Amino acid sequence: MNEFNIDRIVKKTVVVGMSGGVDSSVSAYLLKKDGYDVIGLFMQNWQSEPGEVCTSEIDFKDASLVCDKLDIPLHRANFSQEYWDNVFEEFLSEHKNGRTPNPDILCNREIKFKSFLKYAFTIGADYIATGHYASIKMSEIGPMLCRAKDLKKDQTYFLHEVRSSEFEKCIFPLSNLYKDEVRKIAKDIDLSVSNKKDSVGICFIGERNLKDFLGRFIDLEKGKILDEFGNNIGTHNGATLFTKGQRQGLNIGGIKNKQDLPWYVFDKDINKNEVHVCQGVDNELLFDSGLKMKKINWINEFNFEYPKTALLQVRHQHKPVKCTIVKESNKYNIKFEEKIRAVASGQSAVFYDNNVCLGGGIITETY
């Protein structure tokens, strides 16, 4: 547990977000071992339809087994309406407009650090805890979000829209642990989830075939796949399904007079329902030298002077690149020190000062 958490907290009641996975399970164990009064809270955020595999019921069963093993109470809360209103509708709206949103970021902002936080305090919490790989350090301007020790698992990118005031009441027990250490702890204390695979896919919804899933909510139409010269070389099932840098799902091959190289999406026209592709993983069309944003959500109340230099991360586990932030009248212009591959509008750009996560926002355009 990080030093900031230990120093600031007199042992009190902590409500842990129990997902049924190994990270939240070990988090609960570590907190109880360290003397806290621990309560588990399982969040149901997606209402499965008839015929669907109800993954939330599987996860709830796993969370229940862990809480029984640890001898801690487990509450269950249904936030499916909040999830639909504040996360999923925005997720759909962005896709309809041809952008590529990140539901994990929306989910952290609206559910895990808003609905969950509010509910936790109604059942006696002094603090909340999650299984995120991140850390919190105290500074003169309040709690600051910092990278976890395990940089390969670091999740600060997904937490950049959470405010400092919300981190004031949060503990990240895994901040100083590597993932293999977490699994070893789970195995050593015989937790049933010690070898459970990490969850992937859409936050709280799980692994889905994106075409089939989005097709239930958005009208998808077949359209043209064009090369960089405007030649029609294939057909897609809906332009909104594709994002810059994507290779999978194009089903292009054996094009006459073309090299035997893989094809990648470098652009799309959502109004014309067209996807534009080029060949070669290092094709210049896949790279950008800058981006623009309408808003940056700073975690703390920073008084920055512009131009501002920082490290920029445009996706989870992307290698940070030095950049310059220029504040203009109604937007921010971000210039990269070196070109970045596959930067897509709708995704999030997150800024760092060494290991401190400063904040970030939605990419509106690239250049």
Task: Convert the chain into a string of H (helix), E (strand) and C (coil).
Answer: CCHHHHHHCCCCEEEEECCCCHHHHHHHHHHHHCCCEEEEEEEECCCCCCCCCCHHHHHHHHHHHHHHHHCCCEEEEECHHHHHHHHHHHHHHHHHCCCCCCHHHHHHHHHHHHHHHHHHHHCCCCEEECCCCCEEEEECCEEEEECCCCCCCCCHHHHCCCCHHHHCCEECCCCCCCHHHHHHHHHHCCCCCCCCCCCCCECCCECCCHHHHHCCCCCCCCEEEECCCCCEEEEECCHHHCCCCCCCCCCCCCCCCCCCCCEEEEEEECCCCEEEEEECCCCHHHEEEEEEECCCEECCCCCCCCCEEEEEECCCCCCCEEEEEEECCCCEEEEEEEEEECCCCCCEEEEEECCEEEEEEECCEEC
Of 49-58, 183-192, 270-279, 349-358, give the lowest mean pLDDT range. Answer: 49-58
343 annotated among ligand-binding-site residues? no
- The catalytic position among 107, 146, 170, 357 is 107
Catalytic residue status for 107: yes
193 annotated among ligand-binding-site residues? no
Q: Which residue has the higher pLDDT, 367 or 215?
A: 367
Which of 64, 22, 27 has the alpha carbon at shortest distance from 42?
64
17 annotated among ligand-binding-site residues? yes
The answer to whether the beta carbons of residues 342 and 247 sit under 8 Å apart is no
The Cα 205–Cα 317 span in angstroms is 22
Mean local confidence (pLDDT), 186-193: 96
Domain boundaries, the chain: 3-188, 219-281, 286-366
Is 90 exceeded by the pLDDT of residue 367?
yes
Of 44-48, 98-102, 190-194, 351-355, give the lowest mean pLDDT range. Answer: 44-48
The answer to whether the beta carbons of residues 194 and 207 sit under 8 Å apart is no
Q: Which CATH class is domain 3-188?
A: alpha beta
- Write the single-letter amino acid at 110: E
pLDDT band at residue 34, thresholds of 50, 70 and 90?
very high
* pLDDT of the residue at 10: 62
24 annotated among ligand-binding-site residues? yes
Is 80 exceeded by the pLDDT of residue 207?
no
* pLDDT of the residue at 6: 45
- Rg of the chain over CA atoms, in angstroms? 22
280 annotated among ligand-binding-site residues? no
pLDDT band at residue 29, thresholds of 50, 70 and 90?
very high
* pLDDT of the residue at 49: 58
144 annotated among ligand-binding-site residues? no
Residue 8: other Cβ atoms inside 10 A: 13
pTM (two decimals): 0.90
CATH architecture of 286-366: Beta Barrel (2.40)
* pLDDT of the residue at 53: 52
Is 50 exceeded by the pLDDT of residue 96?
yes
For residue 269, give Cα distances in angstroms to 143, 220, 233, 282.
Answer: 42, 14, 16, 22
* pLDDT of the residue at 7: 46
165 annotated among ligand-binding-site residues? no
Q: Which residue has the higher pLDDT, 260 or 28?
A: 28
293 annotated among ligand-binding-site residues? no
* pLDDT of the residue at 269: 94
Is 90 exceeded by the pLDDT of residue 224?
yes
Backbone angles phi, psi at 61, to 5 degrees: -60, -45
Mean local confidence (pLDDT), 40-57: 72
* pLDDT of the residue at 3: 44
The Cα 177–Cα 173 span in angstroms is 8
pLDDT digits (tens, 9 = 90+) for 117-136: 999 999 999 999 999 999 99
- The catalytic position among 146, 203, 323, 357 is 203
Average pLDDT value for the chain: 89
Is 80 exceeded by the pLDDT of residue 206?
no
* pLDDT of the residue at 162: 95
Query: What pairs with residue 269 in β-bridges?
Result: 274
Q: Which residue has the higher pLDDT, 99 or 29?
A: 29
Q: Which residue reads 């149901």 in tokens?
A: 44
Which two three-digit tokens encode residue 198?
């990490």
Which of 62, 21, 67, 59 has the alpha carbon at shortest distance from 40?
67
135 annotated among ligand-binding-site residues? no
* pLDDT of the residue at 248: 87
Is 80 exceeded by the pLDDT of residue 204?
no
The Cα 339–Cα 361 span in angstroms is 19
Which of 211, 281, 202, 199 has the alpha carbon at shortest distance from 240?
211
pLDDT band at residue 1, thresholds of 50, 70 and 90?
very low
**What is 219-281's CATH number, 3.60.15.10, 2.60.40.10, 3.20.20.140, 2.30.30.280?**
2.30.30.280
